[in-house]
Amino acid sequence: MTKSITEGVYVPIVTFYKKDGHTIDFDTQIKHAKFLKQNGIQGIVALGSTGENALLSQAERIELLSKLHQAVPDFEIIAGVQQHNIQDCLKSISDFKKAGASVAMVLPSFYYGPETSQQGLIDWFTEVADNSELPVILYVYPGVSNGLQTSPETIRTLAKHPNVIGCKCSHGDVHQYSRIGLDKEVEANNFKLLSGQGQLLLPLFAINGKGVIDALSGCFPKTFVKLFKLVSEGKYHEARELQYVAAEAEVLASQGGFLAIKRAIKEHLGLGESLVGRKPMNHALSDTQWESYKPMYELIKKTEESI
């Protein structure tokens, strides 16, 4: 039987660098992964948009996965894949499997943006899934895909494929979530609906979502793990307070991006020598920008420390 995604909270991890802002800090990557596992996180997504997939070389991607898998072999690693050419995509998946990934989270070929037809997306993803050595999660994120949207109808069609086991939707359109999660055929196809936005965890469960891949949980895992536990147990009233905190704090990720996540991790966990990304993302948040996020940061920090 094709692998199924375990319900829960997953972290799209940042890529840590040494002080030069370029050399990958593998020791910190491993410390962070171990910390997340110890605090109830179900698994990690490496090489996603938060992890700067597009700014790493293929050799670096493989090495990162390999070192993480060797250090935490019983921790699920989902590998982000972004290639326009199908053969390059399949080669990446094969390489990532050998390095220790158990699932591939695949962005569509988005070079031509909205000019790409939905049938073209179905054709592209079907060929990938037919030949992929790993089960596939569809990665729906128009913000990093040249405005290309993968429609609910397209996702429903692809959900029939035995090697397509879920989707991560990194947008806030609950209408689209509903059309995927509440579809009886989709549910019967071993297909899991995941959101990239923890601020939607409580409402997500009302429409049959199964978990989140949330960047802020990489800094405050206990808050999101407890929220998921309460929601999955049907304790919705108790979950509301934590959901409010998560929704307020998610401004850090939605407005500040992965640079704000790196700053939060440094401030709260003391991890990371550098607060920047690779060029052209090599300028850290200004102190003024960070101060504007401090009320949200302090709110979730206080909540995390109380759990």
In tens, the pLDDT along 34-67 reads: 999 999 999 999 999 999 999 999 999 999 999 9
Report the chain's mean pLDDT, rounded to a whole number: 96
Do the Cβ atoms of 92 and 133 come closer than 8 Å? no
Which pLDDT tens digit goes with each residue over 214-229?
999 999 999 999 999 9
How far, rounded to the nearest angstrom, does the alpha carbon of residue 75 sit from its chain's CA centroid? 15
Q: Is the pLDDT at 187 greater than 90, yes or no?
A: no
Residue ranges per structural domain of the chain: 8-306
% of the chain with per-residue pLDDT over 70: 99
Which of 17, 67, 141, 168 is catalytic? The answer is 168
50 is in an annotated binding site: yes
- Which residue do the tokens 């002080």 mark? 19
- The confidence band for 3, taking pLDDT boundaries of 50, 70 and 90, is confident
CATH code at 8-306 = 3.20.20.70
Comparing CA positions, the residue from 198, 155, 151, 173 lying closest to residue 50 is 198
Radius of gyration of the chain (CA): 18
Indicate if 293 belongs to the active site: no
Indicate if 97 belongs to the active site: no
23 is in an annotated binding site: no
- The confidence band for 190, taking pLDDT boundaries of 50, 70 and 90, is confident
Does residue 142 have a cis bond before it (omega within 30 degrees)? no
Write the DSSP assignment of 55-75 as a string of letters: GS-HHHHHHHHHHHHHHSTTS
What pTM, to 2 d.p., does this model score? 0.97
Segment 161-169 mean pLDDT: 97
Distance, in Å, from the CA atom of 271 to the CA atom of 15, rounded to the nearest integer, reads 11
Q: Which residues are paired to 65 by β-bridges?
A: none
Distance, in Å, from the CA atom of 289 to the CA atom of 207, rounded to the nearest integer, reads 35
pLDDT for the residue 2: 62
Distance, in Å, from the CA atom of 192 to the CA atom of 269, rounded to the nearest integer, reads 31
DSSP state of 13: P
| Length of the chain in terms of residues written | 307
Comparing CA positions, the residue from 84, 129, 101 lying closest to residue 45 is 101
Give the type of residue at 307: I
Which of 10, 37, 67, 139 is catalytic? The answer is 139
Distance, in Å, from the CA atom of 9 to the CA atom of 113, rounded to the nearest integer, reads 30
